């Protein structure tokens, strides 16, 4: 480990094999919290490469719970966090809208690290269990088009790293790779990032990881979600090629709203916003922000051939009650399962 730390401190990139070895040491050997923190901060200071990120993701997935996938065309929609916007749980809300439109979503998430409320915080508040096993996950994907995978549960070897991240409370490589280490094999992905300069790099990482189609978004105000506050920047991975694009709310048929109108609160407040969106009673800015992000998720999954078409599918998912039904089914499954 010392060799890898010395190389990183000299701002030298680690090769794929070196990064994989370093991560195996952290997961399976005894290292101090100080060494883990030094490793994370040295990577951040140097700047992470495609090879380093891909190696880290592969090692973490190999050490995760083995979750069988019988479904095809599975996606995840998740942001990296770290944007400081304190918005409500947009991607978590959007996941149920996607599922309501028959897009299969393996939603991977965690408790809050750099924000007030993470996906697991708000879902736990709503009554969703955080300890679904491999069989539960596969069954929910088949029967309900959506399952939630709580990162600490499906990645039991990450406890020390999670603790160090909580202590650091700054974005690290784990903000970048959090959405990528889903143990379910994904075909598609909609990924939000807070750092606009990393759009193409993250699309390249997903290409290396074998995603068939993916969208990486950086919203107005440098949000790790698509935003209705102004111009959005995105990278599309399609057919092995990566395309950079920009769009505004007006260009996809939605109004503009200031970021303050999508501010969230604690887990209870954000759970209420999530339910209101799915029930069709949310404030316009909250509703339309979810429509945009769910629409982009449809586009990333290949369920829509344009963002506008995806937004129309998202609107239908909410208006028919299908999105709300997916949430209720997940809560009911949490209550009725045999432990």
Contacts 24+ apart (CB under 8 A), 33-37: 33/160, 33/163, 33/164, 33/167, 35/1, 35/5, 36/160, 36/161, 36/164, 37/164, 37/167, 37/168
Is 4 annotated as contributing to ligand binding? no
Determine whether the annotation assigns residue 165 to a binding site.
Answer: yes
**112 marked ligand binding residue:** yes
Cα 322 vs. chain centroid, distance in angstroms? 22
119 is an annotated ligand-binding site residue: yes
295 is an annotated ligand-binding site residue: no
109 labeled binding residue: yes
- Is position 70 annotated in a ligand binding site? no
265 is in an annotated binding site: no
- 108 marked ligand binding residue: yes
Instruction: Give the Cα-Cα-Cα angle 116, 61, 181 (nearest 5 degrees).
Output: 30
Which residues fall within 8 angstroms of residue 154, CB to CB, at 6 or more apart?
A: 64, 65, 67, 108, 183
Which residue, 117, 95, 166, is CA-closest to 268? 117
- Establish whether 92 is an annotated binding residue: yes
190 neighbors 51 (Cβ within 8 angstroms):
no
Helix spans in the chain (H) = 2-9, 16-28, 33-46, 50-62, 90-100, 119-126, 134-144, 151-154, 159-168, 173-177, 199-208, 267-279, 284-300, 307-319, 322-336
Which of these, 26, 27, 3, 28, lies nearest to 15 by C-alpha position? 3
233 among the known binding-site residues? no
224 assigned ligand-binding residue:
yes
Answer for the pair 236, 207: CB distance below 8 angstroms, yes or no: no
Residue 307's nearest CA partner among 319, 294, 296 is 296
Q: How far apart are CA 328 and CA 238, in angstroms?
A: 34
121-140 core/surface letters (b: 16 or more CB in 10 A; e: else): bbbbbbebbbebebebbbbb
- Whether residue 120 is annotated as binding a ligand: the answer is no
- Does 9 show up as a binding residue in the annotation? no
83 is in an annotated binding site: yes
Answer whether 211's CB lies under 8 Å from 182's CB: no
Annotated binding site for Mg(2+): 91, 224-225
Annotated binding site for 5-phospho-alpha-D-ribose 1-diphosphate: 79, 82-83, 87, 89-92, 107-115, 119
Annotated binding site for anthranilate: 79, 110, 165
Annotated binding site: 79, 82-83, 87, 89-92, 107-115, 119, 165, 224-225
């Amino acid at each position: 480990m010392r060799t890898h730390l010395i190389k990183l401190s000299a701002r030298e990139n680690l090769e794929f094999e070196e990064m994989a070895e370093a991560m195996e040491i952290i997961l399976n050997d005894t290292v101090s919290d100080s060494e883990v923190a030094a490793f994370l901060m040295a990577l951040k200071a140097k700047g992470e490469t495609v090879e380093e990120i891909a190696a880290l993701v592969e090692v973490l997935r190999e050490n995760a719970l083995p979750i069988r996938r019988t479904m095809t065309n599975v996606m995840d929609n998740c942001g990296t966090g770290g944007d400081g916007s304190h918005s409500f749980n947009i991607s978590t809300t959007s996941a149920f809208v996607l599922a309501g439109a028959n897009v299969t979503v393996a939603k991977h998430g965690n408790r809050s690290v750099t924000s007030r409320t993470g996906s697991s915080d708000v879902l736990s508040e709503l009554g969703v269990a955080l300890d679904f096993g491999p069989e539960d996950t596969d069954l929910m994907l088949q029967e309900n088009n959506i399952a939630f995978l709580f990162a600490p549960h499906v990645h039991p070897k990450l406890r020390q790293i999670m603790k160090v991240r909580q202590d650091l409370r700054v974005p690290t490589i784990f903000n970048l790779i959090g959405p990528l280490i889903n143990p379910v094999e994904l075909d598609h992905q909609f990924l939000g990032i807070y750092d606009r300069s990393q759009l193409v790099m993250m699309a390249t990482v997903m290409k290396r990881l074998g995603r068939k189609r993916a969208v990486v978004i950086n919203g107005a105000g440098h949000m790790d979600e698509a935003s209705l506050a102004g111009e959005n920047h995105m990278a599309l991975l399609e057919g092995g090629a990566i395309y950079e694009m920009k769009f505004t709310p007006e260009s996809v048929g939605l109004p503009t709203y200031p970021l303050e109108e999508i501010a969230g609160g604690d887990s209870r407040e954000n759970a209420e916003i999530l339910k209101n969106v799915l029930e069709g009673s949310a404030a316009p800015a909250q509703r339309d922000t979810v429509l945009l992000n769910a629409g982009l998720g449809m586009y990333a999954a290949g369920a829509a051939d344009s963002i506008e078409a995806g937004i129309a599918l998202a609107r239908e998912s909410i208006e028919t009650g299908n999105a709300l039904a997916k949430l209720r089914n997940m809560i009911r499954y949490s209550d009725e399962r045999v432990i």
